[in-house]
Amino acid sequence: MTNYLEKVRETSAMSRRNFIKASAAATAALTATGLTGCANQVKTADTGEAGPNVGSDGRNLVDGTWVSAACWHNCGGRCVNKVLVQDGVVVRQKTDDTHEDSYDHPQMRGCGRGRSQRQQVFSADRLKYPMKRKHWEPLTGGDKSLRGIDEWERISWDEALTYVADEIKHVMDAYGPRAIYCPGGDDIFRTLALNGGYTYSHSTSSVGNWAWLHNYGYGFIGLEGNDRYDLFNSDYVVMFGSNPAWSSAGNPSWFYKHLKDAGVKFIAIDPFFNDSYDLLDAEWIPVYPGSDAALLLGVAHTMLAEDGEKGLIDWDFLHTYASGFDAESMPEGADPKENFMDYVLGTYDGVPKTAEWATEHCGAAPEAIRKLAEVMGKANNVNLFSAFAPGRIINAEYFPAIFATVGLMGGHIGKPGNSVTTSSNSWAANSRTDMFVAGQTGLEPLPNPIDDMINDVDAWDAILEGKYLHTGMTYLFQPGEVRDIDIHIIYHGGLNGGSVGTEVCSLQTKPNLNKGIEVHRKVDFVVTQAYTYNTDARYSDIVLPVTTEWEREGRLFNYQKEAMIAYGKVCEPLFEAKSDQQVARELAEKLGLNPDDAFPISEKQQYFNQLATAALLDETGTPQPVATITQEDIDAWGVEGTPQEGLIPLQQWIDQGVFSVPRSKDDAYAACIGYAAFIEDPVANPRPTASGKFEIYSPTVRDMFASTTRENGVASATPVWQPILDGYEGSFANWETKEKGPYPYIVYNPHYLRRSHSTFDNVGWLRNAWAHPVYISAQDAREKGIADGDTVILWNDNGKTLRPACVTERLMPGVVGLPHGGWVDIDEETGIDRGGADNILCGSHTSVSGVIGWNSCLIDFAKYDGEPLMADIEKPQTVIF
Ligand SMILES: Nc1nc2c(c(=O)[nH]1)N[C@H]1C(S)=C(S)[C@@H](COP(=O)(O)OP(=O)(O)OC[C@H]3O[C@@H](n4cnc5c(=O)[nH]c(N)nc54)[C@H](O)[C@@H]3O)O[C@H]1N2
Ligand SMILES: Nc1nc2c(c(=O)[nH]1)N[C@H]1C(S)=C(S)[C@@H](COP(=O)(O)OP(=O)(O)OC[C@H]3O[C@@H](n4cnc5c(=O)[nH]c(N)nc54)[C@H](O)[C@@H]3O)O[C@H]1N2
Ligand code: SF4
Ligand SMILES: [Mo]
């Protein structure tokens, strides 16, 4: 063990020497340099045509100090980002070069978005000063219909915070804390909690129906998978709805490519033959969005039908580790007829879920389904993977359970070369089993005294109608209860999740944007903390400009399994921006509260605490502090702390931007197999379910869904197929005759390279690189007379939006791909959105669980006969001051 830690230390020391060599220039402190003028200078340097080491102004782009800089968005990856600072000006960016790149010790390289970060931070459309809407009036809102189109007036911080505090005080007196809706803002939450509370939101956003496996029934808490080295032991990787090349930037696609090169075969189940499948030479099985459960039932039926001849099912495995597969393994007290196998065979409902039955629902050929059944058989080593996308569908509540069950049928859990798991975001192709203990800021939780939480899918209706269905928090259901709610203030406070960059779902990213705008024009007061003129800011009365992570003390990220990314401050706050926490403190003061009660320790101390408490779990699973901290460090930082021995000196970690662990196929982490302990000894290590096994039949899930009182869909203990009402089945007016309805196409939202959700959409370089078209299949385009590049209008009852067409053979006919996150841009004359905002089309529909169906929406589309769209790169930025 000591040897291993020694090796880690040595690697750090080596890269430290390289680092010092590379950045021989002075380490002049930047903090004193006001960078208000920095934006212009950076632009000159960036847009220069000159060679790589000389800026257009002749500036030498080699000398200076490389500083670790944040790339903090919720982007599916987490990478090292460095900026070259010269005389206080950021002139260049680079990524991880702390060591040679290898499979054993990969660099944590950034993507195009991260490398364009300076164009976001130093953008001309940064919010620079507090401002108020010209026709806003205190306490009444003034002309509220002008929200989103009004002019802006610059005001002082004192004025702005006084206005906000007065609105809050007024609403607290008149209606109480429940009237304040605050869907996001880790820092402002603390101030509002101290002030009496606020109404909060929750959502299944990323994971969709995967939420129902995380904590309940099946015991797949977080769906354990295997380490990346183990994947070489597999014959097949079967991928449902996975596009790491777009949505898991960083190393996952590269890890997958190593598997392909080693001879592992890939099968892709997806409406889109995406770039990842192309890279991996995957065999493509096209399916309609939301139809995966149907396809998998066809696979299960085929496995049962062909088991006698081919020996596909591992019966011992099923009976030992799962309950509810067949009549003999049903839990005590349950009706034996409700077992999964008899459901698949159609024993009692008269509908055998054959490959042909599945084809009618999913669109995949019966031969492809039969082939997949053979692949899933027990003779093969299979990693059955899905990203989250196929879970973000209404009526697909039972897809994750059916997915897991098919994996269990072939015995693909808990053994080398086999796993059944979500493979998504930064842990795609490398199970998320942690190698680190995250550092803690030292801020104790400050709970909200109010328990009102509105599901994002219901939020806008709730505010318009004055009532909502309270079901507790996503993942932790309480029985559905209709409550009155009377929202007067919307406070968009920024990001959630105990760390930056995690999901909130703002006006832009919640379903039903047109209804959201109506709500924003109804309530008494809207305030937003933002650094860029995002959709929340646009539809507000008062906007408070905040710093980006580049202008803050620093933070620690441990989203990457094998690396801890640390970054510090790049520059002082631009213009009049303040950190979210500073805003929360100053507002607390205006509200007559003591800001120290909300934030008893400084932002610097919080950063230090994170670094000091981060630990590597060594090969025995024992936490080893990462940072070596001396008394001199503590004194230099001016914080409280205790010296400690770690694996890398504190300042070196921050200078490098990363502490990463060299790996090898023989290390203890490589042997990490999901659920191995349970498989080895299911009695000693039971699953946290009633039966102690994987529960294919789950009364917990049935009761949970039944308790919501939502009507669309069934609450069932047996995982069953449900027609997708906002998907393929719903696209027909008459399913029997196959007569199409008014909205015959399924639109879904691929997470897109140009952006991290809506973030980065204002960055010119990225607009230049990625056009944000709408993907249309060649067949549908032919039928509609649409050519590549034509402006297309997409519509349904929720709204209308425009995009240029990208006509492709890689998309299944009947399916339309509208990338996620385009900034809404409503033409007030026509009501049509020119920004291709996905949530213009996503409605406030849900099903029995309350899941949000981003990838199940119905639309029609046509060639647009109005003025064609200009390319996004031509669109001017909105610079207010
Ligand atoms: N139609 C549709 N909608 C979707 C999805 C979909 O697929 N389709 N996907 C959903 C998913 S998976 C997710 S995770 C959510 C994400 O939803 P969001 O988290 O709302 O998405 P972002 O666009 O990343 O929003 C971040 C916003 O916070 C601002 N911001 C960033 N850093 C800071 C900061 O430090 N302080 C403050 N005050 N503001 C900051 C950014 O400028 C940006 O406007 O979207 C969901 N919405
Ligand atoms: N560039 C970029 N990367 C991101 C993000 C971003 O906004 N931009 N967002 C990050 C976040 S927070 C999240 S949650 C993840 C989301 O990442 P994912 O959940 O992986 O979602 P997508 O990348 O949209 O889609 C992955 C694949 O699923 C397919 N798909 C869609 N619906 C279905 C379906 O019903 N069935 C099947 N079989 N396939 C389907 C799509 O065609 C696509 O090929 O991405 C993360 N990464
Ligand atoms: S994947 Fe995310 S963290 Fe990494 S460089 Fe790209 S945007 Fe930044
Ligand atoms: Mo997400």
Final residue in a domain of this structure, among 14, 30, 57:
57
Ligand 3: nearest atom to the Cα of 77: 1
* Beta strand extents in 322-426 (DSSP E only): 322-323, 382-386, 419-422
State which of 270, 284, 402 you would mutate to test the pocket of ligand 2, scoring each by most atoms of that ligand within 8 A of its C-beta.
270
The upper half-sphere exposure of residue 282, i.e. CA atoms within 13 Å in the direction of its Cβ, equals 31
Q: Are 211 and 705 in contact (CB under 8 A)?
A: no
* Among 699, 701, 710, 702, CA closest to 470: 710
Q: Are 680 and 671 in contact (CB under 8 A)?
A: no
In this structure, the residue with its CA closest to atom 19 of ligand 1 is 503
The whole-model pTM stands at: 0.94
Residue 88 per-residue DSSP state: T
**Token representation of residue 491:** 């406070």
**Residue 170 domain flag:** yes
Distance (Å) of CA 691 to CA 402, 696, 721, 722: 18, 11, 24, 26
CA 304 to CA 312: how far, in whole Å?
8
| 65-68: strand order across its sheet | 65-68, 82-86, 89-94
* Banded pLDDT at 9 (limits 50, 70, 90): low
- Same domain? For 397 and 479 the reply is no
> Is residue 35 scored above 50 in pLDDT?
no
Query: By mean pLDDT, which of 220-229, 498-507, 615-624, 682-691 is the weakest?
Result: 498-507
The upper half-sphere exposure of residue 416, i.e. CA atoms within 13 Å in the direction of its Cβ, equals 8
* Among 228, 659, 626, CA closest to 437: 626
CA 758 to CA 820: how far, in whole Å?
8
**Residue 648 domain flag:** no
* Beta strand extents in 716-758 (DSSP E only): 732-734, 739-740, 745-748
Query: By mean pLDDT, which of 233-242, 377-386, 390-399, 700-709 is the weakest?
Result: 700-709
Question: How many domains does the chain divide into?
Answer: 4
Rounded mean pLDDT of the chain?
A: 91
- Residues with Cβ–ion distance below 5 A, ligand 4: 206
What mean pLDDT comes out for the span 507-535? 97
What mean pLDDT comes out for the span 389-417? 96
CA of 106 to the centre of ligand 3 (A): 15
pLDDT tens profile 623-639 = 999 999 999 999 999 99
Decide the pairing of beta strands 745-748 and 857-863: antiparallel
Amino acid at 558: N
* Among 559, 446, 457, 569, CA closest to 500: 559
**Residue 483 domain flag:** yes
What mean pLDDT comes out for the span 736-761? 97
* Among 144, 129, 121, CA closest to 42: 121
* Banded pLDDT at 87 (limits 50, 70, 90): confident
pLDDT at 434: 82
**Ligand 3 lining (C-beta closer than 6 Å):** 71, 73, 75, 77-79, 110-111, 113-114, 249-250, 756
Decide the pairing of beta strands 627-628 and 648-649: parallel
Q: What is the DSSP string of 333-346?
A: TS-GGG-HHHHHHT
CA of 695 to the centre of ligand 4 (A): 27
What mean pLDDT comes out for the span 639-648? 98
- Same domain? For 313 and 390 the reply is yes
Decide the pairing of beta strands 525-530 and 489-492: parallel
pLDDT at 5: 66
- Same domain? For 395 and 500 the reply is no
CA 247 to CA 260: how far, in whole Å?
19
pLDDT at 42: 29
Ligand 2: nearest atom to the Cα of 391: 35
CA 782 to CA 734: how far, in whole Å?
25
pLDDT tens profile 319-345 = 999 999 999 999 999 999 999 999 999
Q: What percent of the chain has pLDDT over 90?
A: 84
State which of 759, 839, 845, 851 you would mutate to test the pocket of ligand 1, scoring each by most atoms of that ligand within 8 A of its C-beta.
759
CA 684 to CA 591: how far, in whole Å?
55
CA of 27 to the centre of ligand 3 (A): 26
- Same domain? For 167 and 303 the reply is no
Decide the pairing of beta strands 453-455 and 283-285: unpaired
State which of 83, 113, 118, 565 you would mutate to test the pocket of ligand 3, scoring each by most atoms of that ligand within 8 A of its C-beta.
113
Q: Angle at which helices 366-375 and 355-362 pack, to 10 degrees? A: 120
What mean pLDDT comes out for the span 699-728? 95
- Same domain? For 463 and 394 the reply is no
- Same domain? For 291 and 337 the reply is yes
- Same domain? For 823 and 740 the reply is yes
* Banded pLDDT at 474 (limits 50, 70, 90): confident
pLDDT at 48: 35
Q: What values do phi and psi take at 296, rounded to 5?
A: -70, -30
**Residue 25 domain flag:** yes
- Same domain? For 769 and 801 the reply is yes
Q: Which ligand is nearest to the CA of 93?
A: 3
Amino acid at 590: K
Q: Count the neighbouring beta carbons within 10 Å of the beta carbon of residue 320.
A: 13
The CATH code of the domain that includes 165 is 3.40.50.740
Q: Is the CB of 226 under 6 A from ligand 1?
A: no
CA 249 to CA 243: how far, in whole Å?
10
- What's CA 312's distance to the chain center, in Å? 36
pLDDT at 3: 64
pLDDT at 374: 98
Residue 549 per-residue DSSP state: G
pLDDT at 7: 65
* Banded pLDDT at 503 (limits 50, 70, 90): low
Q: Count the neighbouring beta carbons within 10 Å of the beta carbon of residue 423.
A: 28
3-state DSSP: the chain helix, strand, coil percent, rounded to 5?
30, 20, 50
**Residue 214 domain flag:** yes
Q: Which ligand is nearest to the CA of 389?
A: 2
What mean pLDDT comes out for the span 191-216? 88
What mean pLDDT comes out for the span 461-480? 91
**Residue 646 domain flag:** no
What mean pLDDT comes out for the span 370-399? 97
- Same domain? For 428 and 505 the reply is no
What mean pLDDT comes out for the span 477-481? 91
**Ligand 2 lining (C-beta closer than 6 Å):** 74-76, 206, 240-243, 246-247, 269-272, 274, 287, 289-290, 292, 387-390, 393, 424-425, 503, 748, 750-753, 755-757, 820-821, 855
**Residue 95 domain flag:** no
Q: Are 455 and 471 in contact (CB under 8 A)?
A: yes
Q: What is the DSSP string of 23-34?
A: T-S-----TTS-
pLDDT at 557: 86
pLDDT at 8: 60
CA 169 to CA 728: how far, in whole Å?
49
Dihedral sign for Cα 284, 287, 289, 295, please.
negative
- Same domain? For 423 and 280 the reply is yes
- Residue 168 is part of which domain span? 131-206+448-554+575-609
* Among 484, 528, 487, 485, CA closest to 506: 528
What mean pLDDT comes out for the span 122-151? 97
* Banded pLDDT at 21 (limits 50, 70, 90): very low
Rounded to 10 degrees, the C-alpha dihedral 655/583/202/210 comes to -10
CA 470 to CA 448: how far, in whole Å?
16
Ligand 3: nearest atom to the Cα of 760: 7
User: In which residue are the tokens 């949000």 written?
Assistant: 852
* Banded pLDDT at 696 (limits 50, 70, 90): very high
State which of 78, 209, 296, 751 you would mutate to test the pocket of ligand 2, scoring each by most atoms of that ligand within 8 A of its C-beta.
751
**Token representation of residue 522:** 């109804």
What mean pLDDT comes out for the span 182-193? 95
> Is residue 232 scored above 90 in pLDDT?
yes
**Residue 108 domain flag:** no
* Banded pLDDT at 77 (limits 50, 70, 90): confident
Contacts of residue 55, Cβ cutoff 8 Å, sequence gap at least 6: 44, 45, 48, 61, 91
pLDDT tens profile 89-131 = 898 999 999 999 999 999 999 999 999 999 999 999 999 999 9
* Banded pLDDT at 730 (limits 50, 70, 90): very high
- Same domain? For 269 and 415 the reply is yes
> Is residue 28 scored above 80 in pLDDT?
no
What mean pLDDT comes out for the span 412-426? 93
CA 408 to CA 761: how far, in whole Å?
42
The CATH code of the domain that includes 791 is 2.40.40.20
- Same domain? For 167 and 256 the reply is no
Q: Is the CB of 840 under 6 A from ligand 1?
A: no
pLDDT at 584: 98
What mean pLDDT comes out for the span 302-313? 98
180 three-state secondary structure: strand
